[in-house]
Amino acid sequence: MLKTKRLFSKGIILNPKMVTQSQFSQIQFQAVLNNFSMLYNVLKAISFADNAMVYLTNDGIQVTVEDAKSIQASAYITRACFSEFNLNPPGNAKATGGSVNEPNIPFGLNLKVFTDCLSMFISGDYDSSLKMLQKGSGAPLIVILEQHGDDNLVTECSVRTMDPFDCMELDVEDEEQIVSKINVKGMNFFLLLSEMDRNCDDIEVIISPDAPHMKLQTFGELHSEASVEITNSSDMLITFSCTQASRHRYKFQHLKLAMRTLALSSKVALRTNNEGLLELQVMIDNNDSSHMFVKYFILPLMSQSDDT
């Protein structure tokens, strides 16, 4: 317990029984958020699945969830959001892409348990900070919440991690396959979707180089339909680019899941490829001048022509 006691004496942890010597013989990850309310809001917004894949990298933290192999969401908490961020994985740490020397610690995490821990200090007008520590593969994620004020309350949680698991490999990066790129004002886009029929089953997204340029049409029971048209001169749009007309249908439930994040957004980048894969890149202003990002991939429904 010598090294654990050393962590305790240095003030890194307050409870020397929180971790064992084998778990924290060497800390590989340590980060501090002076205000974690937006982190909590973002992670709650994507918690439509219990288990998430977490990637600790030099650029920050990526948290990925997916459901039924039809929708995937990844939250990116950039390094600039943290007042302290140190990552020192062993030399054989895996990389999610790029150079094999890129530091990266992947692990599975129960997102509900983690957000429940954060929720303890979210309510009220308190100045609270978050510190996270981890040894690496197999070790728990230590969460230290400190509420600054007259009482200076501190809560320490040890959240069990899981072995890494595979997620869908999705991207809309091939420029030859991209057929539309649209940047919209986040709150305007959220309000637009909010006005659509929430009880509908499907939503069809039509994007064209010609007017009306973008059309959203919902389909519900008894063949009820509602639609809205947007031209490229709309105040909602920041930029509009479309090289090929496309028409694809998606489950409206998946858009409703994304709306939890859109409600926090300042800007949204929407992209589609020639297979109908829809990507939403959501930018969220943090409490300071930094930003968090959430990227959604939504797969289209199979059309009747696909069945033949």
Three-class SS string for 21-48?
CCCCCCCCEEEEECCCHHHHHHHHHCCC
- Residue pointed to by tokens 């610690």: 105
- Residue pointed to by tokens 């809309």: 172
Mean per-residue pLDDT, 292-302 = 94
Q: In angstroms, rounded to a whole number, what is the distance separating the alpha carbons of residues 299 and 308? A: 19
Which two tokens mark 85?
Answer: 């961020």
pLDDT band of residue 258 (cuts 50, 70, 90) is very high
**Which residue(s) pair with 291 in the sheet?**
285
For residue 8, which of 16, 208, 260 has the smallest C-alpha distance? 16
Q: What is the model's pLDDT at position 5?
A: 40
Q: In angstroms, rounded to a whole number, what is the distance separating the alpha carbons of residues 87 and 105? A: 9
Q: What is the model's pLDDT at position 8?
A: 46
Q: In angstroms, rounded to a whole number, what is the distance separating the alpha carbons of residues 300 and 273? A: 11
Instruction: Output the pTM of the full model.
Output: 0.85
57 phi, psi to nearest 5 deg: -135, 175
Three-class SS string for 261-290?
HHCCCCEEEEEEECCCCEEEEEEEECCCCC
Using alpha carbons, list the distances in angstroms from residue 194 to 191, 203, 269, 290: 5, 13, 18, 27
Higher local confidence (pLDDT), 82 or 25? 82
- 122 pLDDT higher than 90: no
Q: What is the model's pLDDT at position 82?
A: 96
Which two tokens mark 53?
Answer: 């894949």
Q: What is the model's pLDDT at position 21?
A: 44
Q: What is the model's pLDDT at position 225?
A: 76
For residue 264, which of 33, 34, 46 has the smallest C-alpha distance? 46
**Which residue(s) pair with 280 in the sheet?**
270, 296
Mean per-residue pLDDT, 78-102 = 70
192-250: pLDDT as tens digits = 999 887 788 899 999 999 999 999 999 877 666 788 999 999 999 999 999 999 999 99
- 88 pLDDT higher than 90: no
- Residue pointed to by tokens 């409600």: 263
- 60 pLDDT higher than 70: yes
Q: In angstroms, rounded to a whole number, what is the distance separating the alpha carbons of residues 283 and 26? A: 35
Q: What is the model's pLDDT at position 308?
A: 37
The DSSP-derived string for 64-113 is EEEETTTEEEEEEEEGGG-SEEEE---TT---SSS-TTS-EEEEEEEHHH
Which two tokens mark 12?
Answer: 């890194």
Q: In angstroms, rounded to a whole number, what is the distance separating the alpha carbons of residues 94 and 103? A: 7
Average per-residue pLDDT in the chain?
85
3-state secondary structure of 301: coil
- % residues pLDDT > 70 (the chain): 83
